[in-house]
């Protein structure tokens, strides 16, 4: 297993988000953050499957002041990374942690050999869409009715990014 070469990044207010590999004993706080942040959250079994898969998904947590406040899950292979989940604890959203977490996930993807990253996002998720587009992701397709929603189903917009094109701001 490759070691993590990525140093923690300071946030503007002196806060620091340190990232490391997710462990099984992280799943309680991860699931708490997940269920508070998403209307349709991942289940415990989905995180366990990602950790148990061979080869495992690249599952990361973001730690601030000793507490897990963010998580992200990548699958990486054949030069492609797929961002399957990125989440910041609801009470800490809008403070820059999501941008730091995504920046760390982009670096992990490059470290693990990916040249491109892909993701799906609900077009109604304006915060996530704004974040992805600010980094340089472009919408490259639509998956009709991909997500469950309050009104039935919602399309997914598929975004892609060549990692060499990631904005200097990440
Ligand atoms: C999406 C998410 C990860 C972003 O993390 P965050 O910590 O809230 O976002 P940040 O504070 O890092 O802001 C990143 C960018 O998002 C955009 N943004 C943040 N809050 C916003 C708001 N209220 N309105 C519009 N855009 C916003 C801005 O472009 C911001 O960049 P800037 O402030 O540097 O210009 C987080 O909100 C989250 O966990 N949401 C629930 C789970 C989710 O939707 N995940 C993505 C699934 S595809």
pLDDT tens track for 41-82:
999 999 999 999 998 899 999 999 999 999 999 999 999 999
Is the four-CA dihedral 25, 26, 29, 31 of positive or negative sign?
negative
Is the beta carbon of 99 within 6 A of some atom in ligand 1? yes
Which ligand 1 atom is nearest residue 130's CA?
29
Tell the residue nearest (CA) to atom 2 of ligand 1: 98
Asked if the structure places residue 106 within a domain, the reply is yes
Q: Is residue 74 part of a domain?
A: yes
Which ligand 1 atom is at minimum distance from the Cα of 128? 1
Question: Does ligand 1 lie within 6 Å of residue 136's CB atom?
Answer: no
Say if 108 falls within a structural domain: yes
Q: What pLDDT does 12 receive?
A: 57
Instruction: Identify the domain containing residue 27 by its residue range.
Output: 9-119
pTM of the model: 0.92
- Report the atom number in ligand 1 closest to the C-alpha of 37: 41
Domain annotation covers residue 86: yes
Does the beta carbon of 88 sit less than 6 angstroms from any atom of ligand 1? yes
For the chain, the domain total comes to: 1
Which residues are catalytic, by number?
120, 132
Per the domain annotation, does 159 fall within a domain? no
User: Can you give the CATH number for the domain in which 86 is found?
Assistant: 3.40.630.30
| 159 has a pLDDT exceeding 90 | yes
**Which residues, in sequence order, are bridge partners of residue 64?**
67
């Amino acid at each position: 297993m490759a070691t993590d070469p990525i140093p923690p990044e300071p946030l503007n207010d002196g806060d620091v988000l340190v990232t490391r590999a997710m462990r099984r004993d992280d799943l309680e706080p991860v699931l708490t953050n997940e269920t508070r942040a998403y209307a349709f959250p991942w289940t415990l079994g989905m995180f366990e499957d990602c950790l148990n898969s061979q080869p495992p998904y690249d599952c990361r947590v973001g730690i601030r002041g000793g507490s897990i406040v963010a998580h992200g899950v990548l699958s990486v292979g054949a030069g492609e990374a797929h961002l399957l989940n990125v989440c910041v604890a609801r009470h800490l959203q809008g403070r820059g942690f999501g941008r730091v977490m995504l920046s760390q996930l982009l670096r992990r993807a490059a470290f693990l050999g990916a040249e491109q990253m892909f993701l799906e996002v609900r077009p109604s998720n304006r915060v996530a869409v704004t974040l992805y587009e600010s980094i340089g992701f472009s919408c490259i397709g639509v998956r009709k009715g991909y997500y469950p929603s309050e009104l039935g189903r919602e399309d997914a917009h598929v975004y892609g990014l060549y990692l060499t094109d990631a904005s200097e701001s990440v």
